[in-house]
Structure 1
Amino acid sequence: MHIAIIASKKDAAGITIKESLIDEGFRDSEAATLHVIEEDSIHAEHLDRKVSADFFLFATRHSAKAEVKTLCVHPPGNWGEAKAGGKKATLSYTIPKFQKFILAELQRHNTLGWEVTSEATHHGPELERPCLFIEIGSTEREWENREAGAVIAKTAISFIQHANTASSNACNDDEMTAAVGLGGTHYCQAFNKINAMTHYAVGHVCPKHQLHLLTPELLRQAMEKSSAELVILDWKGLGAEKQRIAGLLEEQNIPHKRA
């Protein structure tokens, strides 16, 4: 499996991560290559038509008003309007088992004591290859923090080795079950615990505040584009959409369980 790591010239965190990768000994190889692009990563539409790879890992900044020091990972995609890249009501291809591994590695390499978390699916770009975003947040101070860059770099290098280990097909590990998460907050507290403590690997997440946008077509996309076998519900985090979502899953005959 060939992995393309993508950093944007417009992204301070991306440049920090790029430099940290080089410091950690990363060099282009058959397993992975590092690409620096001109546009912001969220607007790198159809980059897979220019860069040949089996999987794309975007190294970027994370912004948040709360300014929490954060190391995070998530798949791109839009449940509704495309306000930050990508395409309206279109989700990315992704591999939840890779997201689960990256979360664990971020935690293992986290020498800073920062928060490690998944995020709900959001923003662009649109690609036809599976991808994830791995991010440093949440202000310019953190984006330029070289220790944070080193945490991401070490995680990325571990991930490349994991994805290319011949004795363990990371895409089809029978010990893990890929799932879609519905409900809860943007920072996926319930699904973080599931990824950390169970055999389930949660990829695409539609949070509570966007559940009203969820249609049978979007649910189909979330399942098919992540090869998910079931939906996991943050039952207490479904809010007013609880009965509609439960009915939708029954109508579509989609296996599901409560978190």
Structure 2
Amino acid sequence: MVVLVVATSSDPASIGPAAAFLAMPGWSPGPPIAEGMQSFTNGNVRLLKHERSIIAEDHLDQRWQEATGEPVSEVIFLSKHTAVSNRPALTVHPIGVPHLREDETPPQGGTPGWAAIPNPRIGPWLRLMQKIAAEQGLVPEFEITLEATHHGPVTSTPTMFVEIGSTEEYWGRQDAAQAIALVLRKGLGLEDGNDVGSWQGNGEKVLLGIGGCWNVEALHQSFL
């Protein structure tokens, strides 16, 4: 099983972190996938670069397996983030448009009523991102946030987006790109062999919250 990290050259907040990630040790050229796509390998991590919108390439996990024979365990997309506040931010979020009816057209990819399986790294990586951003001097200038799901592309495996926001001024920031690259390297275990946030489902208890909860800590303790 391999982890697929996806970047696009059409987005500075995507290709910047990808370039910083590829500048770190251990990479070699990967197999050819399709015209306009490049791939690179490092351990069980595969970085795929393409030229289209990050939300336009559906089923990249399935297409990777069909082209290489390697099943994909999870997908991580690198992208820009936009917000009305225009505040600089580093974000993570799941994907999908489950709020749309079948007769509605998703404005940013995906399929109406669909949501990807959330990548279990989302919570641990949010905390890792906070730590690395602080160490790199990006906090408090950059806000570290968890977004709601709101777009595609369509995938079949656990998926997350890792983003830089929120305006063109920040999308190309090299220090932000370096911070994201460090999150990827540390989080995927390429630094010391110890990854962050992977979950194999080996009998661990899972806490599922639906609706509001006024005291999460009390609920957690009662669950234990």
The TM-score normalised by the length of structure 1 is: 0.64
2:60 to 40, 47, 54: 47
1:141 has 2:165 as partner: no
1:165 deviates by 5.6
Matched residue SS, 1:157: helix
Matches within 5 A, 1:11-160: 11-25=11-25, 27=27, 28-52=41-65, 53-78=72-97, 79-80=99-100, 81=104, 82-96=106-120, 98-110=121-133, 111=136, 112-113=138-139, 114-160=142-188
> Over the residues paired in the alignment, what is the CA RMSD in angstroms?
2.7
Stretches of structure 1 that go unaligned for 5 or more consecutive residues are: 179-228, 237-256
1:8 corresponding residue in structure 2? 8
* The structure with more helix, counted as a fraction of residues: 1
d(CA) in 2 for partners of 1:167, 1:175: 19
Contact 2:109 2:153 in 1 (8 A): yes
CA contact (8 A) 2:92 2:162 kept: yes
Higher relative contact order (CA 8 A, sep 6+): 2
Shift of 1:24: 3.2
Q: Secondary structure at the match of 1:90?
A: coil
| Residue identity (%) | 26
1:95–1:171: 8 Å Cα contact kept in structure 2?
A: no
Matched, 1:161 2:180: no
Closer, same or farther: CA 41–169 of 1 in aligned 2, 3 Å: closer
Contact persistence 2:186–2:196 (CA under 8 A)? no
Residue deviations 1:119-174, cap 9 Å, x none? 01110011111110000000111111010001100001111118x96899931477
Measured in 1, the distance between the counterparts of 2:168 and 2:13 equals 8
CA separation of 1:26 and 1:176: change in aligned 2, threshold 3 A: farther
The normalised TM-score by structure 2 is 0.74
Q: How many residues align?
A: 185
Q: Specify whether residues 175 and 26 from structure 1 end up closer, same or farther in structure 2 by C-alpha distance, changes over 3 A only.
A: farther
3-state SS of 1:10 partner: coil
Does structure 1 conserve the Cα–Cα contact (< 8 Å) formed by 2:125 and 2:197? no
Structure 2 residue ranges without an equivalent (≥5): 28-40, 66-71, 215-221
For residue 253 of structure 1, what is the aligned residue in structure 2?
Answer: none
Task: Give runs of ≥4 in structure 1 deviating > 4 Å.
Answer: 164-169, 173-178
- Residue 175 of structure 1 deviates from its aligned partner by 10
Counterpart in 1 of 2:208?
230
Change (3 A) 1:94 1:154: same
Letter paired with 1:5? V
